[in-house]
């Protein structure tokens, strides 16, 4: 991740509080993905394809977070190139989530503002192309970091401390690049989500005949904005951590609180909130989450 607490000084209780939420919500994300795979008809919709992609990216980030946390807690000396690969994947996964939310908001925008063209625009092929673009754009920052690192800072066989981006990319240019790309990513994503939200509000007020569907889409995009803010807090962890000017145990406690609140819980709660809000998907998820024990819940198919 962009920053990691000095976990070698943390108590076992703190380690448990960090790892257990990851394990629990990885299980929830796994159930959601399983539910989607059990209903292939849902994956013919661009909305659910993008949701599945969001689940995968957030799960990937949670897994890497746990691996880095365990490696730091056990003081495992990681090979430098392995650490670079892991932190690069983590950085890409961090940036995929907000970009994916922007595309999901655009899909809702097309569904409400251009309902007659939605089937032709939001096809599975174009959704796949959009996912490829998301990965490409999210990788620009990391590819630039690796190129500069190989050219100017490729030193040492093992990481001197624990594996995180600050231990690998130590030159000042990396902080500048990271800040620049982060600002560009989130300004563009914020503009897209806000624009789609305003456009849907205008549609709600001007088209009373479809105000029900438009109002629901309006709330969906508003939820995307909330998820975007959660992604923003996760990305800002490294910046906030570097700006802290606290020493001693107070610094360790503050860093741990930021790690738990800004990285772990946002990634855990975001897909769960979205998945349970969807009427079609919620019944399928509850059915498989309870292993079919909920007799009054049946997995339904999309009409």
* pLDDT tens for each residue of 200-222: 888 777 765 455 556 666 677 77
Answer whether residue 90 is part of any domain.
Answer: yes
Phi, psi of 118 (to 5 degrees): -60, -40
Considering the entire predicted model, what is its pTM?
0.80
pLDDT value, residue 301? 47
Domain that holds residue 39: 7-289
Spatial distance between the Cα atoms of 1 and 89, rounded to a whole number of angstroms: 9
Answer whether residue 1 is part of any domain.
Answer: no
Answer whether residue 142 is part of any domain.
Answer: yes
Residue 293's pLDDT band, with cuts at 50, 70 and 90, is: low
Q: What is the 3-state secondary structure (H, E, C) of 175-230?
A: HHHHHHHHHHHHHHHHHHHHHHHHHHHHHHHHCHHHHHHHHHHHHHHHHHHHHHHH
Tokens of 174: 């990396």
Answer whether residue 55 is part of any domain.
Answer: yes
Q: What is the DSSP letter of 298?
A: -
Answer whether residue 300 is part of any domain.
Answer: no
pLDDT digits (tens, 9 = 90+) for 96-119: 888 888 898 888 888 888 888 888
* Residue of 221 and 4 predicted with greater confidence: 221
Answer whether residue 172 is part of any domain.
Answer: yes
pLDDT value, residue 300? 47
Beta bridge partners of 79: 158
Find which of 15-24, 48-57, 144-153, 210-219 is predicted with most confidence, using mean pLDDT: 48-57
Query: Whose CA is closest to 86, among 161, 149, 163?
Result: 163
C-beta separation of 116 from 206 below 8 A: no
Residue with tokens 């969001």: 54
Judge whether residue 3 has pLDDT over 50: no
Answer whether residue 177 is part of any domain.
Answer: yes
Spatial distance between the Cα atoms of 103 and 136, rounded to a whole number of angstroms: 14
pLDDT digits (tens, 9 = 90+) for 187-204: 888 888 888 888 888 877
Quote the number of domains for the chain.
1
Query: What CATH number does residue 209 fall under?
Result: 1.20.1070.10
Answer whether residue 296 is part of any domain.
Answer: no
SS3 at position 158: strand
Judge whether residue 295 has pLDDT over 50: no
């Amino acid at each position: 991740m962009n920053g990691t607490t000095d976990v070698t000084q943390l108590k076992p209780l703190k380690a448990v509080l960090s790892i257990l939420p990851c394990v629990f919500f990885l299980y929830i994300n796994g159930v959601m993905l399983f539910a989607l795979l059990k209903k292939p008809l849902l994956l013919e919709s661009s909305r659910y394809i993008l949701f599945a992609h969001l689940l995968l990216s957030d799960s990937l980030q949670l897994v890497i977070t746990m691996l880095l946390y365990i490696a730091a807690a056990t003081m495992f000396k990681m090979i430098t190139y392995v650490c670079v690969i892991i932190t690069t994947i983590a950085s890409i996964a961090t940036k995929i989530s907000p970009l994916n939310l922007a595309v999901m908001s655009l899909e809702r925008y097309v569904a409400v503002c251009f309902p007659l063209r939605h089937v032709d625009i939001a096809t599975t092929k174009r959704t796949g192309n959009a996912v490829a673009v998301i990965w490409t754009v999210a990788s620009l920052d990391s590819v630039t970091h690796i190129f500069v690192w190989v050219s100017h800072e490729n030193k040492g066989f093992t990481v001197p401390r624990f594996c995180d981006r600050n231990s690998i990319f130590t030159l000042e240019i990396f902080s500048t690049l990271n800040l620049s790309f982060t600002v560009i990513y989130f300004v563009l994503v914020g503009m897209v989500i806000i624009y789609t939200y305003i456009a849907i509000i205008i549609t709600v007020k001007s088209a009373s005949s479809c105000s029900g569907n438009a109002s629901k889409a309006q709330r969906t995009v508003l939820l995307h904005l909330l998820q975007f803010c959660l992604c923003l807090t996760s990305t800002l962890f490294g910046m906030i951590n570097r700006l802290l000017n606290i020493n001693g145990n107070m610094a360790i406690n503050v860093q741990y609180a930021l790690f738990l609140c800004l990285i772990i819980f946002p990634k855990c709660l975001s897909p769960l909130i979205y998945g349970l809000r969807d009427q079609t998907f919620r019944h399928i998820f509850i059915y498989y989450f309870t292993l079919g024990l909920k007799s009054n819940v049946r997995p339904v198919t999309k009409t």
